[in-house]
Amino acid sequence: MSSTILAVDDSPTMRQMLTMCLSGAGFNVVTAEDGADGVEKLKEHNPDVVITDINMPIMDGFEFIETVRGGDFSTRMPILVLTTESDAAKKARAREAGATGWIVKPFVPEKLISAVHRVMP
């Protein structure tokens, strides 16, 4: 049974790239287009790993992570933040919100996969 990854990003291009990359590596991929959608999908699919963007409409990445960590669903799954922004303040904020790891985009597929593998048992 393959593992499930939830990818949250408002860009259809990014969602498509993540899906192709990750499903090509054998994962089940579920996507969401903003934080609120992400929360819904997470409840529904209970993924093993979550990858999320920060800048999204309706509910941004920070709020999404906070909601996940504080909610009544499993709080322990790894959440990787995938974003072009790389300043320290944002990283700290993400960490505070409860993010597990940080990947800068544009990502190289191989690196994304290995990052996921590191997180996934």
Partner 1 sequence: MELDAIRDTYFAECADQLSELETGLFSISSDGVDAETVNSVFRAVHSIKGGAGAFALDELVSFAHVFENALDVIRNDLSQSNEDRIDLLLRSSDVLTDIVAAARDGEEPIDCSEISAELEKEFNLQPMEEEEEVEFDIVPISLDDLTIQTSAATNKFEITFAPHNELYLNGHDPQKIFRELADLGSCEIRVNTEKLSSLDKFDTSSTELSWNITIETTSLENDVRAVFEWVSDCCDLQITEDETDALASDISIDDFLGDLSDLPEVEEEDDCLGEPQESEPLTVPDEQPGIAELPDLSEVSPEPALEIVAEEPVAEVVELPAEAPKEEKPAAAKKPEPKERARASKPIRVDSEKVDRLINLMGEMVISQSMLTLQINEAGFGTASPTGLALVELQNLTREIQSSVMSIRAQPIKPVFMRMSRVVREICSATGKKAQLLLEGENTEVDTTVIEGLSDPLTHMIRNSVDHGIESVEKRVEAGKPETGEIVLSASHSSGSIVIEIRDDGAGINRQKVFEIAVEKGVIQADSKLSDEEIDNLIFAPGFSTAEEITDVSGRGVGMDVVRQSIQGLGGRVSISSTPGKGSLFTLNLPLTLAILDGMLVRTAEQMFVIPVSSMIETISLRQQDVFQIGDGNMVFKLRDQLIPIVDVGYELGFLDQPHSYEEGTILIVESGNHDMSAFLVDSIVGQQQVVIKSMESNYQRIPSIAAATILGNGRIALILDIEDIVSRKTRETPTQPVLDQIA
- Indicate whether 89 belongs to the interface with partner 1 (CB under 8 A): no
Whether the CB-CB separation of 97 and 62 falls below 8 Å is answered with yes
Q: How far is the CB of 111 from partner 1 (least distance, A)?
A: 6
- Indicate whether 48 belongs to the interface with partner 1 (CB under 8 A): yes
Which of 41, 63, 64, 67 forms a contact with partner 1 (CB under 8 A)?
Answer: 41
Residues between 21 and 40 that touch partner 1 (CB under 8 A)? 21, 23-25, 28-32, 36-37, 40
CB atoms within 10 A of CB 56: 22
Give the Cα separation of 55 and 62 in Å (integer).
9
Q: How far is the CB of 32 from partner 1 (least distance, A)?
A: 7
Beta pairing class for 49-52 and 28-32: unpaired
Q: How far is the CB of 70 from partner 1 (least distance, A)?
A: 8
Q: Which of 15/64 has CB closer to partner 1? A: 15
- Indicate whether 66 belongs to the interface with partner 1 (CB under 8 A): no
- Tell me the H-state helices in 1-121: 12-24, 35-45, 61-70, 88-97, 109-119
Tokens of 35: 């934080």
Give the Cα separation of 78 and 21 in Å (integer).
18
Which of 62, 67, 93, 95 forms a contact with partner 1 (CB under 8 A)?
Answer: 95
